[in-house]
Amino acid sequence: MSTGFVVFAHGSRIESANEAVRAVAAQLAAAGPFDQVEAAFLELGRPDLDGAVTALAEHGARRIVVIPYFLTWGLHLERDLTRLVDQVAQAHHDLEVVMTPPLDGHPGLLAVLLDRARSMPPESDQAPTPRIIYKYTDRNGVEKILSNRTLRFARPSEMNDPFDIYIEDLLGLDLEEVHERAIDALCDLLTKNPQEYSDRCGVPLESAEASAKILRNASDERTDEIRRYLKSVDIAALSPEYNALRTEQPALRDAVVNHLRNCAIFCASGTPSNLLMWAHYAEQHRGAVLGFLPDVARDSMLTQIEPVAYSERRPSLLDDSNLLARPTPESAAAANRRLFLTKSSEWSYEQELRLFIPGEIQPGQNATFKHFYATELVEVYLGCRMSRENRGMVTELAKRLNAEARVFSVVLGRRKYALDMSRVA
């Protein structure tokens, strides 16, 4: 009997990630050797499982082995892949469709982790070398920064992306959105660890073990029916942690919102050469980009700047990786970080870096200003449309702050859409 193999992955909006899965499938075919290997995706990639199975069947495969390209047996495999395999088997009556376990538990996985760990360079006693951060600004802004030796920290309401400040609706919906996922998490916990379920939910261990046995032995249809029933009742009756979270969430939400409103945020970038940012933030190339190297020795505030994470999903007040956990100061701090440091993937070209200071801006003010060390100014890029007079003024101010600062003239690339930069001082 001819056998075909499907490497089944989740799928990603980042197409290079999907291509990596297809490359693994091709490598499996070559290393096997197996004549018929296809990649398939749960979502966000093509083909899906049925498409991959159909392609293998058209090439003569009569037995299909689905290999989950997942680390552990989680919700997607238990709920989604098993259902998809059953649907494919019913649609292709002449095929035998089977599924292997995921990667977890395979002895080769430990070898991979060891190899990754051993590949890292030995730990250094020295602090990591900071990188230069870049601030795009217009002509008026660059003069103020260099003359006053200050950087402007704005309120979140001053950000140009309304999603940076409009979080009240998001936080209010968090519990509604995670209700079903929390039920699934409780059922998974009950099935895999009745003791922990008993401890968390305050039910007798004997009852938890009996319920776990029912879930383990139930058919897929019966399991789905049980889960649907549980999702129709108040989860607070099953989980004290969830009840406490629901009770505390309004106060936590209000605290986060007020905290955000009064925070001071400084935004910078990891690159001085982005065409869109020159147009948007540097006055259509008439302004400048200032490069700062954070002074670690003097514990500069700029050493605390962090990169923004870009995502298709808005940040959540709750941690999806541990829906049953009770809120703690640590989890609240982590939620704040998610809210401050997450933006839409549409903004990823900015390579944004952010530094935020809690409660820094006083009522009635939209911004505050913080001093940087003069020697932290290490680079200045003069826009290609900046006038000769302004070029001279900016260069003089920069050198007055730090005589070692490098000044670059920016011109349009001759052969491609890019900026060329040459040092002029």
Helices 168-192 and 240-261, packing angle to 10 deg: 150
Structure tokens at 361: 């801006």
Nearest residue to 310 (alpha-carbon basis) of 13, 9, 46, 11: 13
What is the model's pLDDT at position 338?
76
263-313 pLDDT, tens per residue?
899 999 999 999 999 999 999 999 999 999 999 999 999 999 999 989 887
Nearest residue to 383 (alpha-carbon basis) of 262, 244, 259, 279: 279
Strands 288-292 and 133-137: antiparallel
d(CA 159, CA 161): 6
What is the model's pLDDT at position 271?
94
pTM beyond 0.85, yes or no: no
Phi-psi region of 44 (alpha: psi -120 to 50; beta: other; left: phi over 0): left
Structure tokens at 158: 């001053």
d(CA 287, CA 382): 7
If the chain, 425 residues long, is cut into consecutive pieces of 10 residues, what is the mean pLDDT of each piece? 87 83 87 83 88 89 89 77 85 87 81 79 62 96 97 88 63 56 77 82 83 86 78 63 68 69 90 95 97 94 93 68 55 71 90 89 89 97 96 97 96 91 93
The topology under which CATH files domain 3-111 is Rossmann fold (3.40.50)
For the chain, domain boundaries: 3-111, 133-155+262-423, 168-250
* Cα Dmax for the chain: 83
Question: Which backbone phi and psi does 95 adopt, to 5 degrees?
Answer: -110, 145
What is the model's pLDDT at position 172?
46
Cβ neighbours of residue 59 under 8 Å, at least 6 residues apart? 4, 35, 36
